[in-house]
Amino acid sequence: MNVQIWTYLIVGVTFVLYIGIAIWSRAGSTKDFYVAGGDVSPLANGMATAADWMSAASFISMAGLISFMGYDGAVYLLGWTGGYVLLALLLAPYLRKFGKFTVPDFVGDRYYSQTARSVAVFCAIFVSFTYVAGQMRGVGVVFSRFLEVDVTTGVIIGMVIVFFYAVLGGMKGITYTQVAQFCVLIFAFMVPAIFISIMMTGHAIPQLGFGSTLSDGTYLLDKLDGLHEELGFAAYTIGKKSTIDIFFITAALMVGTAGLPHVIVRFFTVPKVRDARVSGGYALLLIAILYTTAPAIAAFARTNLINTVSNQEYKALPEWFGKWEETGLIKFEDKNQDGRVQYVGDVEKNELTIDRDIMVLANPEIANLPDWVIALVAAGGLAAALSTAAGLLLVISTSIAHDLVKKQINPNISDKGELVVARGAAAVAVVIAGIFGIYPPGFVAQVVAFAFGLAASSFFPAIIMGIFSKRINREGAVAGMVIGMLFTASYIVFFKFISPELNTDENWWFGISPEGIGTLGMILNFLVSGIISHLSPAPPQEVQDMVEHIRYPN
């Protein structure tokens, strides 16, 4: 069987599994739809959280980023894993003890304000749509290559699958589907990594292979540095970003992680506060499997790519190159008309353009692994993208149905009516998410990094101060969220869409890139919230008592 048949087979089996789980665990009440009934075991919740967290950015794009950025790509590893520690220790147990359905629920009650709730709803929807654009883009990339359809068709197929189990099953269906998706994606990520590590270094553990010697006796990273310097690229193991930008990007990813509503809501699905901590520990261990493997895959893929295509006859390139070229994600322009591929650091002479999102997906083909492994990676990429997309779409639907309709527009709506609204909102969100996937504002990891910056500048300060400070009031929280979000969004939009030609470190404020500006937005949020809160009346006593209650064990 060829790659396409294997892909149809493996992807088809996984899709049947996801839909079957959704039918088996379909939601029958709003509690099922919003928090899976609140009785998910810590291990299952840890696996679901890991799948929810390890999106297309983690599976498809992170290793690709590290392949091209080298040392500087470490900011994504540090930020995303470090942020999860913050979330598990500082936020999850307290929000679980608070005992509501959503982050806007917490913000609205803690800051005793429908305005605060509305601002939180807007922030949740804005962040979630920004994030989901990256997931749908990932779905399109996978389908466009392995099912040989265009990106638009691939996104539409993904929309149909997500629509089915997100709208039918709600959080209950999504949770158990994500358990299956975690198993698929981690198996798909590790199998080719192990194979390639054995082929290149003789080590079955990719993390050890990453620091080992190749068959010619050269250390892998020394080999990469030599290849880069020979071709005019910057050294792979030397950072090129400024220290301040690395710090701000890492911080934005960390606190953005702790403020992402689709991850936070996972901790509302377990029975007890202790279970929230335990499931956080399980999730962190499961996430570490992929995150410690990604740098190895990045180095393997980069080395194999350069050795395979650089200075080779274009007509003699392997079949995988032509397949990816058909998708438009690899482009060759023979500038000097010599029929050979000049892949060099000099922009004027370089003839090869590579979309970094393809590196993990193309890696097994570049290394000549069996067809079933190539198809397995496609299934893993889809599992990663669809699991996170489903979680994000649920946040959007619950924000609209529960926090907007139930809490503000029609408090007397029945449980059944609220469920209908939630499913309708999820359906509309799927369509909008698909449009974002077809017309994405950047490559997968970049779009996701923007979502983290927006979450860092809006949600994180409001939640952390809401838990640990009795003095922060509604006026301060609302002003902080609005200013933090507007500042961060404006900075990103200006440099990425209005004036992309100015998007250089010489023009950035204090040398901070759009990917890291969320940290500055967060600082503004903290300052504005604190100053306004101390210049206006303290929160009511019952609110201060509530803060006391959620901070300490009974």
Say yes or no to pLDDT of 293 above 90.
yes
Burial class (CB in 10 A: 0-12, 13-18, 19+), 213: middle
Average of per-residue pLDDT across 170-176 = 77
Q: What's the confidence (pLDDT) of residue 168?
A: 67
List pLDDT tens digits, range 387-444: 777 777 878 888 888 888 888 888 888 878 888 888 888 888 888 888 877 776 555 5
Q: What's the confidence (pLDDT) of residue 490?
A: 92
Which SS3 state, helix, strand or coil, does residue 352 take?
strand
For residue 510, the tally of other CB atoms under 10 A from its CB is 11
What does R_g of the chain's alpha carbons equal in angstroms? 23
Average of per-residue pLDDT across 448-469 = 84
Tell me the domains of the chain and their CATH numbers. 3-551 (1.20.1730.10)
List pLDDT tens digits, range 226-255: 989 888 888 888 888 888 999 999 998 888
**Which structure tokens are listed for 193?**
């990594």
Confidence of residue 125 (pLDDT cuts 50, 70, 90): confident
- Counting residues of the chain whose pLDDT is more than 90, the rounded percentage is 19
Say yes or no to pLDDT of 142 above 80.
no
Q: What's the confidence (pLDDT) of residue 214?
A: 87
Window from 22-36, 180-194, 418-432 with minimum mean pLDDT: 22-36
- CA 297 from chain center: how many Å? 18
Say yes or no to pLDDT of 447 above 70.
no
Instruction: Quote the strand ranges of 328-458, DSSP E.
Output: 330-332, 352-354
